[in-house]
Amino acid sequence: MLAIASSLVLAACGDKAAKDGETASNEPPELRQPGSWGQKIEIVKLEGDDVTPEAKAQMQQMFSMLSGMTVCLTPEAAKQEDMAKNLSDMGSKGENCTFDKKVFSGKTVDFSATCKGDAGKTMKMSATGTSGATAQDITMTILANKADGSKEGEMVMRITAERKGECGPNDITPPAPAAKS
């Protein structure tokens, strides 16, 4: 579930992010159990120069539709989930992104990253919460700044997910992920 939301907001970070600001942990991240997962994505805050109340309502409606679906996390897909690596690998390679903090230990998710964009713009992204074998609760914040440092826009979303049981016939089963090299 988090991967879906992460891909929406972290597409700018590439390989460089994996090397900067890493925080060592003593405990490996807890992996999600295979099975049927339900999710809810709530837009807590959405504001910016071009954001209208209609745009916010449309985005919330889109996420609400996704919230009604359940996804089958196959054993193969569960084995390949690695939130820290996925964040580092996501999006275009070679972008100018650095992690200020990256903690994936036990159930703890706590990271922040800064990406430098075109014409001096920056985007700061952060997430805090928990991700465990049977539940996730993560709040993500994306802050876009103009070249002069003034705020261009901000989005805060809360992603909650829980394992509902074994996969069922009404679950969406994404294609099997490619084997990692």
Residue 102 near residue 82, CB atoms below 8 Å:
no
Q: Decide: residue 10, CB within 10 A, 0-12 exposed, 13-18 middle, 19+ buried.
A: buried
d(CA 157, CA 140): 5
In 3-state terms, the chain is what percent helix, strand and coil (to 5)?
25, 45, 35
Predicted confidence (pLDDT) per residue in 39-84, tens digit: 999 999 999 988 898 988 898 899 888 887 999 999 999 888 877 7
Predicted confidence (pLDDT) per residue in 118-129, tens digit: 889 999 999 999
The percent of residues above 90 in pLDDT, for the chain, comes to 49
H/E element, 42: strand 35-48
For residue 78, CA distances in Å to 81, 134, 145, 146, 148 come to 5, 12, 36, 38, 43
DSSP 15: T
The answer to whether residue 18 scores a pLDDT higher than 50 is: no
Q: What is the value of pTM for the model shown?
A: 0.78
d(CA 28, CA 132): 11
